[in-house]
C-alpha cells in the first residue's frame, strides 16, 4: 500500500508530474509492487552485511597524469540552449 499523499510527495522528489488518471493507476501499480517487495521484511538478515557491490575492489588508483578531455565546444554541442559556450537555463525559483 502507498497513500496518495506519498505518491504526490515521491513525484515531487523525482521531479515528475502526473495527470489525475495517471496518479490513480500509478498508486495502484506502486502499491502492488511495494506489497510484493515487502516480502523481504519477513527474512531474518541480522548478521549479514549489505552488499552494494558484488566484486570486492578498493582504492582503485591511477597515475595522476593529465589527459585531453572534450573541448568546450564538444561538451556543450548537445545542449538544448547554449550561449557563449555556456548552458542557459530558466531562472531559479
Q: Where on the chain is the footprint of other proteins (CB under 8 A)?
A: 2, 6-7, 9-11, 13-18, 26, 29-30, 32-34, 36-37, 39-41, 43, 45, 48-55, 57, 60, 62, 70, 74-81, 87, 89-93
Beta bridge partners of 86: 83
**Least CB distance from residue 67 to other proteins, whole Å?**
9
Q: Where are the beta strands (DSSP E) in the chain?
A: 82-83, 86-87
**Least CB distance from residue 19 to other proteins, whole Å?**
9
Cα separation, 54 vs 11, in Å, equals 31
Amino acid at each position: 500500500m502507498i497513500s496518495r499523499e506519498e505518491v504526490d510527495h515521491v513525484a515531487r522528489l523525482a521531479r515528475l508530474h502526473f495527470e489525475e488518471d495517471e496518479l490513480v493507476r500509478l498508486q495502484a501499480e506502486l502499491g502492488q509492487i511495494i506489497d510484493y517487495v515487502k516480502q523481504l521484511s519477513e527474512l531474518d538478515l541480522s548478521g549479514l552485511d549489505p552488499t552494494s557491490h558484488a566484486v570486492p575492489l578498493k582504492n582503485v588508483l591511477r597515475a595522476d597524469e593529465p589527459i585531453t578531455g572534450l573541448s568546450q565546444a564538444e561538451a556543450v554541442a548537445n545542449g538544448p540552449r547554449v550561449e557563449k559556450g555556456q548552458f542557459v537555463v530558466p531562472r531559479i525559483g
